[in-house]
């Protein structure tokens, strides 16, 4: 049995949710709302984020922090689509499939609610989202900044059936420090001057090199 720290699982959850949009989520509002509905509908023990009331609906500081760290890790990109900004997950098919299996296996209740929330909210406009948020009883009964509900997940989550290698791979997938270190090494390697190799000496020895020179 291996364990993952809660912030790692939160980054993986945000990345997995973003991967459901083929062209990217239209701004952070739809992402926050989709993840809010997934958490709200899931059983309390499965909730991954703490949400507060905001003037545009519910938001989570943990989601915002995860987005910043995923950007630093090179796992999300943004592009402008007309007046909108899209947030897109940068994952290979293998990586996306691994996340699908991970959440389907270890967080089945939350994953099921995420897909339901995605089908309901993912393609709504910001105006539609705000209108529906305003009609939400939770939104109307709380003040701005109030905690709507908190994640009950511990800081370190043990996952029965997850092996150490898989846990390390998942952590590395969203590790911004590892990404920065690899980027620095690649940058240093690119700045090194190219040196020609004496292939005669490498493959035939010095004596053969002299003979060829004669």
Q: What is the 3-state secondary structure (H, E, C) of 144-172?
A: CCCEEECCCCCCEEEECCCCHHHHHHHHH
Give the residue among 162, 121, 17 at the shortest CA–CA distance from 75.
17
Say if 145 falls within a structural domain: yes
Which of 51-55, 91-95, 142-146 is least confident? Answer: 142-146
| pLDDT of amino acid 173 | 94
DSSP structural state of residue 122: T
For 100-117, write each residue's pLDDT tens digit.
999 999 999 999 999 999
More confident residue, 93 or 214: 93
> Are the beta carbons of 29 and 53 closer than 8 angstroms?
no
Is the backbone of residue 24 left (phi > 0), alpha (psi -120 to 50) or beta? left
DSSP structural state of residue 124: -
- Tally of domains within the chain: 1
Q: Which residues pair with 86 in a beta bridge?
A: 26, 79
| pLDDT of amino acid 209 | 47
Say if 200 falls within a structural domain: no
More confident residue, 114 or 211: 114
| pLDDT of amino acid 72 | 92
> ∠ at Cα 72 (87, 155), nearest 5°?
95
> How many residues are given for the chain?
214
Say if 144 falls within a structural domain: yes
Say if 210 falls within a structural domain: no
Give the residue among 106, 112, 109 at the shortest CA–CA distance from 44.
109
Say if 150 falls within a structural domain: yes
For 156-209, write each residue's pLDDT tens digit.
999 999 999 999 999 999 998 776 666 666 656 666 665 555 656 665 665 544
Say if 55 falls within a structural domain: yes
Distance CA 25, CA 194 (A): 43
For 31-65, write each residue's pLDDT tens digit.
999 999 999 999 888 899 999 988 777 899 999 99
> Are the beta carbons of 188 and 176 closer than 8 angstroms?
no
Say if 123 falls within a structural domain: yes
Domain of residue 30, residue span: 2-184
């Amino acid at each position: 049995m291996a364990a993952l720290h809660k912030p790692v699982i939160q980054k993986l959850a945000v990345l997995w949710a973003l991967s459901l949009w083929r062209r990217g989520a239209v701004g952070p509002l739809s992402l926050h709302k989709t993840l809010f509905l997934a958490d709200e509908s899931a059983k309390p023990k499965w909730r991954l984020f703490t949400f507060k009331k905001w003037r545009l609906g519910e938001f989570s500081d943990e989601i915002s922090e995860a987005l910043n760290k995923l950007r630093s890790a090179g796992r999300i990109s943004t592009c402008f689509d007309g007046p909108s900004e899209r947030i897109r997950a940068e994952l290979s098919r293998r990586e996306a499939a691994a996340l699908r299996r991970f959440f389907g296996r270890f967080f089945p209740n939350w994953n099921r609610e995420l897909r339901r929330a995605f089908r309901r909210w993912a393609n709504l406009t910001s105006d539609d989202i705000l209108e529906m948020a305003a009609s939400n009883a939770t939104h109307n009964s709380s003040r701005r900044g109030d905690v709507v509900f908190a994640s009950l997940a511990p800081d370190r989550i043990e996952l029965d059936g997850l092996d150490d290698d898989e846990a390390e791979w998942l952590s590395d997938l969203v590790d911004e420090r590892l990404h920065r270190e690899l980027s620095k090494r690649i940058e240093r390697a690119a700045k090194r001057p190219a040196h020609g190799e004496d292939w005669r000496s490498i493959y035939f020895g010095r004596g053969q090199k002299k003979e060829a020179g004669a």
